Chains A and B, each alone.
Chain A
């Protein structure tokens, strides 16, 4: 955009509009160097370490039963947490974007809160609530319900940390689109559900998908929150990130990085899908800002 032809190509003006060669070189080097140091090297390191002892050991590490059950558990947790946040995120976006009411900005802040709360705290609150020494502990024990150190605890902690993701993507987009389409459909006699399913959802489908994608990436990769509620029972309550930590602590660096490389692969797939969405459906996704 800034490269649009100048009305009068005065040398001085040109110089004031463009960065000189050395500035360009300097800024580009700085940017690339910074990204190399902080982004690309860690990513490369994961794969180098994973294959450090050859392909066979790598394959062995990721097909070992505990690793497989970690993969299964991770998928299961995400399969519960993500749909839950999808439904709640859509409901929250509908209420916030389509209506004006008092306390709205406070509600938005509360929805955003898990984003800035330390993941450790997200786990801690459930221990305080559901742990054997916690507020509801005795009651849960009396009814033989396991939450902490079992699947429900992992799911709750994951839902907590990924709570804002879908709503965050949808709210600005829905706000931007306004309500006139829905109003027209309703005036023409469409039922509320029909209006929602045929007008609203198709309008925001790509930002919805975008939000789900980010939500899923975080759900599968969450470490801090689940580490507090997991109890680290190998093969039972260890998700992939926890399994990575356990292996890492067993001097099993190759296996740790092998499982880590699966997660890094997941991250790359997420990025690829995300980038694809941005390139092809930029019009349908509102602001890129604020994840």
Chain B
């Protein structure tokens, strides 16, 4: 080995290093024609379709070629990364509570953000249904069955997942109705359900994998859209959707992150992107991806026919809004912490 060769190797290494650092800095500074949509777990397929439609429309209108980047994860976890500095242009999370947390802690969103877009800033809704193995062998019909011994229930962790919080509140609402607001009985019921949960993933997607792919559990408390998606991905011959007597109207809200879009100069595109969600074209895509559209006119009738009719309670009427529900049930020391004590 000659000295020349070694020197060349070192030089090459240094050049590569320096070059990569420069490249990194350049690529770190994001282009203007780019939006980052930070979303929750089950919306991957929805926003893939929406993004394609919107970028085409945007290019038609403005001539600008727009790239929309996606980041998905548990809703609470995603909110945390934005609070920690992830430069999201728009937030499309599972529930208002998570966006409230971002508004409060990062100060990048005004606290009254939910009033800025129509219908609580939720361009689509969904609900919670049960997914069981084909033929529903354990005969799970309604929320009450979840508390029976020997039933294994799959749900994600309410601390990190938005879907899981909807699950929890829906169960709570059913119990309040069933036991006539007898709080001790409601708590007993919730504790019994939680005792039947063998796995708590951090996001809805992790739970779906656990239930559908890994064969864990008898019943999966799932977003309605996620349940349909499972039938589509894994085959309708393997699972049944069971619609309980009552469920909760889940309103996954959207907002622009003012602090970030103003710093990046992307406000116009971000605003247009969210408004696009309310257009008939987007509402049709929403229905196609198993979310309940706000405006049914443009949606395909066969897509709409898939949504079962059931009694939907809202968080505002039963729980007095997210801030209250979050504090009572999911904050440290809330009912979830009190009731979740696995036997093992």
Contact = CB atoms under 8 A, between A and B. Distances in A.
Q: Do A and B bind each other?
A: yes
Interface stretch (A20-28, A78-86, A260-268): A78-86
Contacts of B14: 83
Interface stretch (B18-26, B136-144, B240-248, B286-294): B18-26
Interface in A68-102: 76, 79-80, 83-84, 86
A231 interface: yes
Given A132-B83, A232-B71, A80 B213 contact: no
A236 B69 contact: yes
A287 interface: no
Interface string A108-141: 0000000000000000000100111110010001
Most B Cβ at <10 Å: residue of A84, A201, A232 = A232
Contacts of B83: 132-133
B337 interface: no
Given A83-B13, A83-B17, A133-B105, A233 B6 contact: no
A205 B1 contact: yes
B129 interface: no
A235 B1 CA distance: 41
Interface in A135-154: 137, 141, 144, 146, 148-152
Contacts, number: 96
B203 interface: yes
Contacts of B84: 127, 131-134, 148-149
A248 B209 contact: yes
Pick the most buried of B6, B16, B81, B83: most chain A CB atoms within 10 A of its CB. Answer: B81
Nearest to A140: B85
A178 interface: no
B24 A155 contact: yes
A151 B6 CA distance: 30
A257 to B, nearest CB: 12
Most B CB within 10 A of own CB, among A151, A201, A231: A231
Nearest to B45: A250
B209 A150 contact: no
Nearest to B70: A234
A248 B24 CA distance: 28
Contacts of A232: 71-73, 81
A76 B22 CA distance: 11
Interface in A142-176: 144, 146, 148-152, 155
A233 B105 contact: no
Contacts of B71: 231-234
B324 to A, nearest CB: 25
Interface residues of A, number: 40
Contacts of B81: 149, 231-232
A249 interface: yes
B79 to A, nearest CB: 12
Interface string A248-262: 111101000000000
A137 B108 CA distance: 14
A133 B104 CA distance: 12
Interface of A: 76, 79-80, 83-84, 86, 127, 130-134, 137, 141, 144, 146, 148-152, 155, 194, 197-198, 201-202, 205, 231-236, 246, 248-251, 253
24 contacts: A79-B16, A80-B17, A80-B20, A83-B13, A132-B83, A132-B84, A133-B84, A133-B85, A137-B85, A146-B85, A149-B87, A150-B28, A151-B24, A152-B24, A194-B3, A197-B6, A197-B7, A198-B3, A202-B1, A202-B3, A205-B6, A233-B69, A251-B212, A251-B213
Interface of B: 1, 3, 6-7, 13-14, 16-17, 20-21, 23-24, 27-28, 36, 41, 44, 69-73, 81, 83-87, 105-106, 203, 205-206, 208-209, 212-213, 233-234, 263
